Amino acid sequence: MNGLTEGQKRFFEDFGFLKLPGFLKNEIGWITEEFEAVFRDRKTMHVGTQRSCIVPFIDQREKLCTLLDHPGLHAVLCDLLGDDFNYLAGDGNFYTGDTGWHPDGCHRRGLYLKAAFYLDELNAETGALRVIPCTHRLDAFEPSRVRTAGNCREHWGIEQREVPFVALDITPGDLVIFNHNLMHASVGGGKRRRMFTMNCGKHASTPEEIQDLEQYIAGHSRFWLDSSYSDVMKRTASPQRMRHLAQVLEHEKGLPELSAKARAGMAEPSRG
């Protein structure tokens, strides 16, 4: 199965994001039905005043789990992260309103990315992802006020929507991939903006990379998870899929204890 061109790989490396128009256009019908089914099965009452979020998301249904086996997507992830990449779970969301400027990580080693599946037609003014290109490059952007663009009023006396950006307009079926370090936001989205993600990372090789991975896994405790993956994700895994789960399974032994602590101290699992 074809993956990315050398130019696309370099674009991702240099700018920190990549949009693949129409990448899943043949599958977007069933993907959208499955997305709705997850929230229906969970009886999630999305009232539109705050984000509703389910983690891990594709894990909730056997068919959605197969996105990790999707030949085209698999080829793209292998091209960006190597054949032994780690699947790191992800969230499914009804977003409400704006998302302020932030990165998803500050990784100095390894490579962590997010594949984002938006299920509604979106542009820059109606909730499409806005990114500040190149800000994943910590060597170039730290220390820099741009890495804390969420404080735009204080920094520059401007609003979130006025921060310079590139918008990744969406027709459902497009695929957006971005480096966790990249600054991103959205403005003007409705009260039921549908989006889910798959986080993935390079296989951790050095002790420092393994420490980073363990820290990432520990972060799943805020969602009250005893494992980063659902039973169905693990039970239905082919040897190829299992290769992308194995390192996390090996390093998540401390997660139940951390989640027990989180349950004791939080009123509900985190919404993001």
Ligand X SMILES: O=C(O)CCC(=O)C(=O)O
Positions that interact with ligand X (CB under 6 A): 95, 99, 104, 114, 116, 129, 184, 186, 195, 197
Q: How far is the CB of 129 from ligand X (least distance, A)?
A: 5
User: Which is nearer to ligand X, 136 or 184 (by Cβ)?
Assistant: 184
Question: How buried is residue 267: exposed, middle or buried, by Cβ count under 10 Å (0-12/13-18/19+)?
Answer: exposed
Sign of CA dihedral 172, 174, 179, 185: negative
> From the CB of 185, what's the least distance to ligand X, in Å?
7
Q: What is the distance between the alpha carbons of residues 35 and 246, in angstroms, rounded to a whole number?
A: 26
* Least separation in angstroms between CB 34 and ligand X: 19
* Closer CB to ligand X, 16 or 237, in the complex: 16
Nearer to ligand X, 116 or 204 (CB): 116
Minimum distance between the CB of residue 231 and ligand X, rounded to whole angstroms? 25
The residue (of 60 and 99) whose beta carbon lies closer to ligand X is 99
Q: How far is the CB of 117 from ligand X (least distance, A)?
A: 10
Nearer to ligand X, 179 or 247 (CB): 179
CB of 76 to ligand X, least distance (A): 18
Give the Cα separation of 169 and 154 in Å (integer). 28
Sequential DSSP letters for 171-226? -BTBEEEEETTSEEEE-S--SSEEEEEEEEEPPP-SHHHHHHHHHHHHGGGGGT-S
- What's the start-to-end Cα distance of the chain, in Å? 33
Q: In which element (H, E) is residue 237 found?
A: none
Whichever of 68 and 237 has its CB closer to ligand X, that residue is: 68
Distance CA 22, CA 38 (A): 23
